[in-house]
Structure 1
Amino acid sequence: MQRPPTQPDAAPRPAVFLDRDGVLNVDTGYAHRADQIAWVPGAPEAVARMNAAGFRVFVVTNQAGIARGLYGCDDVEDLHRWMAQELRERGARIDDWRYSPHHPLHQPERFADKADWRKPAPGMLLDLMAAWPVDRTASFMIGDRQTDMEAAAAAGIDGYLFEAGNLDTFVADILRRRAGR
C-alpha cells in the first residue's frame, strides 16, 4: 500500500498530489497492467514541469479492483514501477506512490487498516506528508473526482478538479495562478 520513500531530503518543499486514473492515465476502469495504460495528453510533461518547479510529486490512488478480486497488490506495484520508468524516460519523476485497496462493499474487513486511506478520506496524503518533509501551505492536489477534492480539503491543501484536456496546460495554469497569489 506504500512504497519506501526515495531518499527524501530534509528541507520541506511543496508537493503536488496526483490522482492516477483520469489524471495521469486515461481511466479505462481497473487498469493494472502496462498494456492498459494510455497517458493523458501532457501528463509526462506536466510531471516534469512540477519537478522543475521544485515540487515533490506524489500519486494517491484508490484501487478498489484489489478488494473486488480483479487483481492484486503486486499488480498495482508492478504497474507503478513501470509507470515510474516510463516517466523517467521522459524526464519526469514521481517521488512516491500510495494506493488504497480498501472498498467498503467488497471485503471491507480484509483491508480495514487502510479504510482511512480510501479517498475521500485523507489518509494517503497525510501518510506522505508524514514520510516526507512537505510544505503543506504551498501544496495542492489534482484529481478528476469530487472525492479527490474532499481528500485534499481534509488534508488541509487546495484541490484542483481536472476534467479533461491537456494536463500540462492545466498544471501550467495552476502554477501561474498560484504564483500570482
Structure 2
Amino acid sequence: MSKAKPAIFLDRDGVINKDNGYVSQIDDFEFLEGVIESCIEFQKKGYLLVLITNQSGIARGYFTEEQFHTLTEWMDWSMADRGVDLDGIYYCPHHSIEGQGEFKIDCDCRKPKPGMLMNAIEDLNIDIESSILIGDKVSDLQAGIAAGVKTNYLVRTGKAITPEGETLATDVFDDLAAIVKVI
C-alpha cells in the first residue's frame, strides 16, 4: 500500500464558488476570486484536493441528480483546464426533513456527519492527521472534527461567520489565498 497523503477537504458553495443558493446550472456557477491559484498552490505543497458538498437541493426537488452531475463535470473540467485536478468529489443528495422520495433519509454523509470524509479517507488513502478541512459554516467544521481532521478552517467567502464557528474553527481566513500563505 502506498504512503497515505494529506488532503485539503473543500466545501463547494461559499468556498470554491459564490454561494448563490442551490447552484445547479453552469450559468449560475461563479468561481470565487483566487480559488484556482490557491488550489494549484495546495497541490504544489503535496495535498490531495477533495470536494465534499451537501446538495440538499436534489432532495428538495430543486434540481435533479443528473443536473448536479452535469454541473460538477463542467466544474471539474474547468478546474482541470486551469491546472487543478480534484482527487475526489463527494456529495450528499439527502435531507432527512425536507427531502422527497428516496432522498428523504437520515444518512451518514450529510454534514455535520463525517460520512463523505470517511469515504474519501478510505478511498484515497488520506493521512487524516496532516489534512485540512476548509468550509464556510459550522456543519463543515463539525464534519471535519467528527472525521478526525485536526485543522479545520473557516473562510469568509460564504456564509456569515457565527460565534460557534469561530469557537470550533482552528482559524478564520478571508479566503483560500490567505490559507495558502500559512500552510
What residue in structure 1 maps to residue 80 of structure 2? Answer: 88
What residue in structure 1 maps to residue 2 of structure 2? Answer: 10
What residue in structure 2 maps to residue 68 of structure 1? Answer: 60
Structure 2 residue ranges without an equivalent (≥5): 158-172
Corresponding letter in the other structure for 1:162: V
| Contact 1:42 1:166 survives alignment (8 Å) | no
1:90 to partner: Cα distance: 1.1
Instruction: Indicate how the Cα distance of structure 1 residues 114 and 24 shifts in structure 2: closer, same or farther if over 3 A, else same.
Output: farther
What residue in structure 2 maps to residue 49 of structure 1? Answer: 41
Instruction: Indicate how the Cα distance of structure 1 residues 107 and 169 shifts in structure 2: closer, same or farther if over 3 A, else same.
Output: closer
TM-score, normalisation: structure 1 = 0.86
Q: 2:177 aligns with which of 165, 169, 172?
A: 169
1:111 to partner: Cα distance: 2.9
1:107 to partner: Cα distance: 2.8
| Contact 1:60 1:125 survives alignment (8 Å) | yes
What residue in structure 2 maps to residue 179 of structure 1? Answer: none
Corresponding letter in the other structure for 1:138: S
What residue in structure 1 maps to residue 108 of structure 2? Answer: 116
State the alpha-carbon separation in 1 of the partners of residues 81 and 175 from structure 2.
18
State the alpha-carbon separation in 2 of the partners of residues 174 and 19 from structure 1.
19
RMSD over equivalenced CA pairs, Å: 1.8
1:77 to partner: Cα distance: 1.3
Instruction: Indicate how the Cα distance of structure 1 residues 15 and 142 shifts in structure 2: closer, same or farther if over 3 A, else same.
Output: same
What residue in structure 1 maps to residue 153 of structure 2? Answer: 160
SS in 1 for 2:108: helix
What residue in structure 2 maps to residue 143 of structure 1? Answer: 135
Q: How many residues end up aligned between the 2 structures?
A: 167
Task: Determine what percentage of the aligned residue pairs are the same residue.
Answer: 34
SS in 2 for 1:117: coil
State the alpha-carbon separation in 1 of the partners of residues 106 and 182 from structure 2.
31
1:100 to partner: Cα distance: 0.5
> Could you give the per-residue CA deviations for residues 128-160 of structure 1, whole angstroms, max 9, x where no partner exists?
011111111100100000110111100010210
Kindly indicate whether structure 1 or structure 2 has the higher relative contact order, using CA contacts under 8 Å at least 6 residues apart. 1
Corresponding letter in the other structure for 2:153: Y
Q: 1:37 aligns with which of 29, 44, 52?
A: 29
| Contact 2:61 2:100 survives alignment (8 Å) | no
Corresponding letter in the other structure for 1:85: W
State the alpha-carbon separation in 2 of the partners of residues 150 and 121 from structure 1.
7
Structure 1 residue ranges without an equivalent (≥5): 1-8, 176-181
| Contact 2:134 2:152 survives alignment (8 Å) | yes
> Could you give the per-residue CA deviations for residues 42-74 of structure 1, whole angstroms, max 9, x where no partner exists?
111111111111111000000010011011111
